[in-house]
Structure 1
Amino acid sequence: MSRYADDLALAHLLADRADAVSSARFRALDLRVEAKPDLTPVSDADTAVEREIRALLAEHRPDDGLLGEEYGEQPAATPDGRRWVVDPIDGTKNFIRGVPIWATLVALLEGDTPVLGLVSAPALGRRWWAATGAGAYAGPDAAGGVPIRVSGVRDLADASFCYASLDGWIARGRLDGMLGLMRDTWRSRAYGDFYGYMLLAEGALDAMVEPELSLWDIAALVPIVTEAGGLLTDLTGANAPGDGSAVGSNGLLHAEVLARLGRPADD
Structure 2
Amino acid sequence: MPEASSDLALITAAAREAGALAVRLRAEGLTSEFKAADGSPVTNADLAADALLKQRLSTARPDYGWLSEETADDPARLAKRRLFVVDPIDGTRAYMKDRPWWAVSIAVVEGKLPLAGVVFAPQLDETYTAVAGRGAHLNGGAIQASDRDEVEGCGMVGDARMFAHPAWRTPWPDMRIEARNSTAYRLCVIASGAFDATIALVAKFDWDLAAADLIAREAGAFVGDHQGRPFSYNGPKPAQPSLVCAAPRLAPLILERVSHIALPN
**How many residues are aligned here?**
253
CA distance in 1, matches of 2:225, 2:39: 25
Cα distance per residue 1:90-119 (max 9 Å; x no partner): 010111112121111001111321222110
Instruction: Show the counterpart of 2:204.
Output: 213
C-alpha spacing 1:75/1:260, structure 2 compared with 1 (3 Å): closer
In the TM superposition, residue 65 of structure 1 has moved relative to its aligned partner by 0.1
Contact 2:145 2:192 (C-alpha < 8 Å) held by counterparts: yes
In the TM superposition, residue 189 of structure 1 has moved relative to its aligned partner by 2.0
In the TM superposition, residue 197 of structure 1 has moved relative to its aligned partner by 1.4
In the TM superposition, residue 89 of structure 1 has moved relative to its aligned partner by 0.3
SS at match of 1:72: coil
Contact 1:76 1:83 (C-alpha < 8 Å) held by counterparts: no
Consecutive unaligned residues in structure 2, runs of 5 or more:
233-238
Between 63-72 and 16-25, the greater mean CA deviation after superposition: 16-25
Q: TM-score scaled by structure 2? A: 0.87
Contact 2:213 2:223 (C-alpha < 8 Å) held by counterparts: yes
In the TM superposition, residue 137 of structure 1 has moved relative to its aligned partner by 0.4
C-alpha spacing 1:175/1:70, structure 2 compared with 1 (3 Å): farther
CA RMSD of aligned residues (A): 2.5
CA distance in 1, matches of 2:34, 2:45: 14
AA at the equivalent of 1:248: C
Runs of 4+ aligned residues of structure 1 deviating over 6 Å after TM superposition are none
AA at the equivalent of 1:128: Y
Q: TM-score scaled by structure 1? A: 0.86
Between 206-215 and 145-154, the greater mean CA deviation after superposition: 206-215
Identity of aligned residues (%): 31
Contact 1:165 1:192 (C-alpha < 8 Å) held by counterparts: no
1:191 alignment partner, one of 180, 183, 192? 180
AA at the equivalent of 1:240: F
Contact 2:145 2:247 (C-alpha < 8 Å) held by counterparts: yes
AA at the equivalent of 2:259: G
C-alpha spacing 1:228/1:51, structure 2 compared with 1 (3 Å): same
Consecutive unaligned residues in structure 1, runs of 5 or more:
140-144
In the TM superposition, residue 34 of structure 1 has moved relative to its aligned partner by 0.5
